[in-house]
Amino acid sequence: MKEQIIEKATEMFLNIGFKSVTMDDISAEMGISKKTVYQFFRNKSDLVGHCCKHILNIIAKDIEEVESWTLNPIEEMYEARKVLLRRLKNEKTSPVYQLQKYYPKIFESLRKERFDMMDGCVVNNLKKGMEQGYYRDNLDVEVISKIYHNGVTGLKEKDMFWPQHYTVPYLMNVFLEYHVRAIATPKGIDTLNEILVKERNKSAIPPQTKEENGR
């Protein structure tokens, strides 16, 4: 039952928001009493913390699976991006903002764990790309991995990237292309262009919002 509660609560938190969803909402959605929920979790903060760890564990397993595929490093980056967006429900701004505002300790802990996970993945990808000739061989792997993390995190700055003007998937695509072009060899650029053509043909790159297109 505990795992079922975590799974349902995670889904609701990501779709509606960490502050907006109450313990009553979760128990009603599952058809159980609130007392049953409190048998497994001390309070809502305890449940939120478990849900955040649940999200990270799922993403980590998904990325491990992507890394096991026979992909070149640039394809690997694009597939990992799809995993992140799918698992985080395209990272809707409201849930992330609510987590940061109302559960700051959990948010900071989650950010550190997410950094550790992403940093290892990006470092491995950079090394793989350098070895296979897709990325330049003189890259400072440690510095670039941190620049990448800070860039991805910065996309959530509402004062800079207004959600009514930009969708998170659109920003992720712009940033990922920017990242790869900055480190790629001619071989890597050719591969990147092939991926972008395929994605555009499949309409996989989310467009800017109507407001942004009209600016």
196 close to 181: Cβ distance less than 8 angstroms:
no
The pLDDT assigned to 202 comes to 79
Domain boundaries, given as residue ranges, for the chain: 51-213
51-213 — its CATH code?
1.10.357.10
The structure tokens 């467009």 sit at 207
With contact defined as beta carbons under 8 Å apart, do 106 and 19 qualify?
Answer: no
What is residue 215's predicted lDDT score, i.e. its pLDDT? 45
Q: What are the residue ranges in the chain where pLDDT is below 70?
A: 89-94, 203-215
Q: CA 19, CA 91: separation in Å to the nearest integer?
A: 16
What is the reported pLDDT for 160? 82
Q: Are the CB atoms for 134 and 73 separated by under 8 Å?
A: yes
Rounded Cα–Cα distance for residues 40 and 38 (Å): 5
Q: How far apart are CA 3 and CA 179, in angstroms?
A: 37
Q: Is the pTM of this model over 0.75?
A: yes
pLDDT digits over 149-172, tens only?
999 888 877 778 777 788 888 899
The beta strands (E) that lie in the chain are given as none
Task: Give residue-wise pLDDT tens across range 80-102.
Answer: 998 888 877 655 556 777 888 89
Reduced to 3 states, what is the DSSP secondary structure of residue 137? coil
The reported pLDDT for the residue numbered 52 is: 93
**Phi and psi based region of residue 17 (left: phi greater than 0; alpha: psi -120 to 50; beta: remaining):** left
Torsional class of 205: left (φ above 0), alpha (ψ -120 to 50), beta (otherwise): beta
